[in-house]
Structure 1
Amino acid sequence: MFYPKPIILTLLASAASICLTSAAPPPPPPAVPAKLDPAEYISVPINRCDTPNRKCHKLNTAIVTEGSTNVTAAGFVTIPGYLFDLNSWKYYLLHLKIRMLSVDVNLGGVKCGRNAAFYTSQMKKEATLGTGYCDAHTDATGTCNEMDILEGNAATKAYSAHPYADTENGYCSHQGCNVNTNRDQNKFVGPGLYIDTTKTFTLVSAFTTHDKSDKGDLVGVQQWMLQDGKALAQTLITDDYCLNIETWNLNYTKSGGLEELGRSFDIGHVLVFSFWGDQNSIEYGNNMSWLDQGVANNAKCNQTAGESGPSYSNIRIEFIKDIKVLRLRRSNLPQTADSSHQTAPSLSFDDHIIDGLHHPRHSQEETALVFGGWGGGS
C-alpha cells in the first residue's frame, strides 16, 4: 500500500474570464532523463487493451509526487502524483479518443470537505519528473487542458471537461462543464444507495468522436458507475449540454469546447492522482461545498465520518468498439420516498457485466494504490 505524506499544491481558481498566458513554461528536460530513487515513486501498472491485436498488456508505469511537507493550519492539503514510464523515465501520455478508461475506486473513507481527484492534464512529456504541472486553474504554473475523470468523496462524485484555448487571449474553462451526482442523481449515489459509495465501484469513462475514429473531433464524454452487476449511466457531456449551463460557465464556448479538449488528447495527457481539502479556501468556496454542498445542506455528509484517503486499482484502457454497451438494459431501481422526482438513468447488465470490463481483479501480490493518512486539518 502507498501512504505518501500530504504535500501542498496551491490551486488558483480565478473568477476572471481570461487565463494568464505569461506563465513560466515547464523547465527544459535534462539531456538524459533523471532516474528516481525507488523511494520517490510507486509502481502503478496500467492495463492497455487498445492495441491493434486487442490483446491486453501491462505498462511499466509508476507515479511520482512533487515532494512532501506538512499540512497547513487551514487544512489545505493535496497529494498529487503523476503517471510516468519506467522505461523512458518520462511522463506517460494518454490518448483517449474512441477509448474507455476504467478504474476501481473506493471512496468510503473520504468525508465531505475532501476531494479525491483522478484526472488528466496536458502536461509536457519531457518535463522533469515531479515538475511541469498544469491544469485549467493554475495560472501560476501554466494553464492547460484538463479532464476531471473523478472529483468526489463518499457523498458525491463529479466529472468535468475543462478545455483551454491556447490563443492570444488564453481563454480557459475554470469552472468546467460538469456532471455531479449530488445535483443530478442524489437519490442513487451515496452511502447505502443504489451505487453504494462506501464500497468499491468501477468507474468507466468513454470518449467519443464524430466519425468514430481517433482522428475525429471529440463530441461526447460519458461515464458509468458499475457495482455488483449494476450500472448507473451518468449524463452525457456534449457541447449542447454545456451550452445549456452556460449561465454559470461563461468561458466554456470561448475555450473551444470538446473539440479543443479533443485536440489536446491528440497531443496527450498525463494521468494525475490527487487528494485534498479546502477548509478555508476562498477560491473554491466553503469547505468543498461546491462539490458536496457541505454538512449543513447534504444529509449524506453526516454519514461519512471517515478520515482516510481513496484507493484506486485495476486501471484499464480499451477501444470503445470492443465494449458491447448495447447489452445494457434498463433496470428496476430501488424506490425511495421521493425518487419519483428524478429520472432513473440507470442501466444494469443482461450478461452479468459489460463484456471487456469483467476483467480479473489484482492478484494477491499486487496492491491497490491507496492515498491515506490525512495528517491534519478537519
Structure 2
Amino acid sequence: MLCVGLFGLVYSIGVGTNTQETHPKLSWKQCSSGGSCTTQQGSVVIDSNWRWTHSTKDLTNCYDGNLWDSTLCPDGTTCSKNCVLEGADYSGTYGITSSGDSLTLKFVTHGSYSTNVGSRLYLLKDDNNYQIFNLAGKEFTFTVDVSNLPCGLNGALYFVEMDQDGGKGKHKENEAGAKYGTGYCDAQCPTDLKFIDGIANSDGWKPQDNDENSGNGKYGSCCSEMDIWEANSLATAYTPHVCDTKGQKRCQGTACGENGGGDRFGSECDPDGCDFNSWRQGNKSFWGPGLIIDTKKSVQVVTQFIGSGSSVTEIRRKYVQNGKVIENSYSTISGTEKYNSISDDYCNAQKKAFGDTNSFENHGGFKRFSQHIQDMVLVLSLWDDHTVNMLWLDSVYPTNSNKPGADRGPCETSSGVPADVESKSASASVKYSDIRFGPIDSTYK
C-alpha cells in the first residue's frame, strides 16, 4: 500500500482485511459544576503492538514470537511496505469485554491460534480519533475492581500525550492511525514498540531474553505521562512524569534512556516521576484486603488537578467506598509528614527523604507538567513486568535495600516472576467502570 507525500514516494503501515476492526463500546460521563453529568458514547481500541502483523500478499507473519521475518522486514521501510496491521477479535483473542460504562480486561487468554498476555487500550472519540482530555483544573474519576489482581500484576489507568489521530496526520507513512491503535508513547521512551511514526521499528531489533513475545528496536517513543492509577489488590500509586518536549517524539538509542541501552536519566523524560504510594509513604494499613480502602470491593477513585487557569500546582486523591469519601493517607516519612497529595514541595521533600534523583524537578516539575496535560489520551491496561517483576510497585525494591523508600508494598521479593504469574494467575482480571470527567468536586458524592 502506497501513498505519495510532498517529499516523494513513501510506504505506509497498511491495514488488513482478514478480521474486521470493531471497537468495543465504552460510555463515560462529562460532568458540570453542581454534579450534573451527560453520558458520552465512546469506544476502545487495542494498541497496535498486540495486533497480528502479516504480509500484504498472504497470511505469512511479519512478526512471530519476538522476531521480525528477515525476508519481509530487512529494514523498517521495506517492512512497512510489505506488512499490514490486522483487525482484532477483542474477546476471543485478547479477553477484552465491555458493557455500557464498564470494561473488563482478562490477564491470560487462550485463543484459537495463540495465547495472549495482558493488553493496552485507548479511549476513542470516534473510529479514527482518540478522546482528548485537558486535565488542568479538572477532576477525573473512575470505579475499579482489583480484587482479582495478585502480586506482580498492574491494572494501570493513565494518560499519555499521544497524537489524537495516532500520528496519521503528522506521519503520512501511517495509514492505520487511531483506528488501529498506533502512536503510543510514554515517559519511559519504550523501544519495544513495533511501529513508531508510521514505520516498522525492526531496524536493530533484538529479542528480549526473558519475554518470548517482545524485543527492542533502535527507536523509542517519548512523551509526558500521568499515571492516575497503577495498582493490584496489595499496592497502589499515582505518579506524574514530565518530558522536555511537548507531544510524542521518537528517540534513538541511548537518547531513549535506560530502554535504549543508556543511562536511566539520560533521556529527555523523567522515568521515575513523583509517586505517592501510601505503603511507601509509611501507611501500611490504608490499601489492601480488609483495610481502610478494602480491595476486596470496588472503589471509586477521584483525582483532582488543582491550580489556577492552565497552571496545575497540586494533584489530590480521594476515594469513595461504601458511600463514604475517604481522603488520601498522609505520609509518615520524616520530612514529608504534612503531605497527602503531590506538589513540587512534596516531590522535593520525598526525593530528599528517599535519596532519589529528582528527575521530576530536573525536567521542569509542575510548571512544565502543566503545559503537557492539556492534550492527553486515556490508556486502560493490564500487564506483568518482565524487567523487575513489578517489585517497584508492591514489594521491596531494590531487593537488597533497607533505605527509606525501598519498601513499597507487602509482596515477597520473590513474587511477580512473569512465568509464575502467567501460569498461576492466568484468570486474573481488572474491571474499570463509570469514568467521569469535569470540574473539581463534580464527579463524585
Residue 358 of structure 2 aligns to a residue whose secondary structure is: coil
Q: Equivalent of 1:126, from 159, 162, 165?
A: 165
What's the offset of the Cα at 1:28? 11
Percent of aligned pairs with the same amino acid? 27
Return the alpha-carbon distance in structure 2 between the equivalents of residues 55 and 154 of structure 1.
32
Which stretch of the first structure deviates more once superposed, 245-254 or 142-151?
Answer: 245-254
1:63 is aligned to 2:44: yes
Provide the rounded CA distance (Å) in 2 between the counterparts of 1:36 and 1:58. Answer: 33
Residue 30 of structure 2 corresponds to residue 48 of structure 1: yes
Aligned AA for 1:148?
A: D
For residue 120 of structure 2, the aligned residue among 56, 80, 91 is 80
SS at match of 2:429: coil
Distance 2:368 2:11 in 1: 25
Report what 1:193 is aligned to: 291
Once residues 228 and 20 of structure 2 are traced to their aligned partners in structure 1, the CA distance between those partners, rounded to angstroms, is 28
> Is residue 157–residue 229 contact of structure 2 (8 Å, CA) maintained in 1?
yes
1:148 to 227, 231, 255: 227
Alpha carbons of 1:299 and 1:91: their partners in 2 closer, same or farther (altered >3 Å)? Answer: closer
Superposed CA offset, 1:94-141 (max 9, x none): 011111111000000000001110000000012211100000012434
User: 1:293 corresponds to which residue?
Assistant: 395
Between 1 and 2, higher relative CO (CA 8 Å, sep ≥ 6) is seen in 1
Conserved in 2, the CA contact under 8 Å of 1:42 and 1:62? yes
Distance in 2 separating the partners of 1:244 and 1:187: 23
Q: Which amino acid aligns with 1:132?
A: G
Give the aligned partner of residue 171 of structure 1: 268
Deviation at 1:60, TM superposition (A): 2.2
| Shift of residue 29, structure 1, vs aligned partner | 10
Contact 1:191/1:300 (<8 A) preserved: no
1:344 maps to what in 2? none
- CA–CA distance in structure 2, aligned partners of residues 37 and 43 of structure 1: 18
CA positional deviation for 1:249? 3.4
* 1:137 alignment partner in structure 2: 188
For residues 292 and 195 of structure 1, the distance between their equivalents in structure 2, rounded to whole angstroms, comes to: 16
Q: Secondary structure at the match of 2:122?
A: strand
Instruction: Show the counterpart of 1:21.
Output: none
TM-score normalised by the chain length of structure 2: 0.57
Is 2:348 the counterpart of 1:243?
Answer: yes
Q: CA RMSD in A?
A: 3.5
Question: Structure 1 stretches of 5 or more lacking a match?
Answer: 1-26, 324-355, 359-378
Which amino acid in 2 is paired with 1:48? Q
Say which of 99, 116, 123 aligns to 2:155.
Answer: 116
Deviation at 1:317, TM superposition (A): 0.6
Query: Is the partner of 1:159 in helix, strand or coil?
Result: strand
Q: Which residue of 2 aligns with 1:208?
A: 306
Give the unaligned 5+ runs of structure 2: 1-9, 53-63, 67-107, 109-115, 167-176, 192-219, 247-254, 256-265, 329-339, 400-406, 416-420
Supply the distance in 1 between the matched residues of 2:356 and 2:304 (Cα, whole angstroms).
25
Alignment partners' CA distance in 2, 1:78 and 1:142: 20
State the 1:260 CA deviation. Answer: 1.4
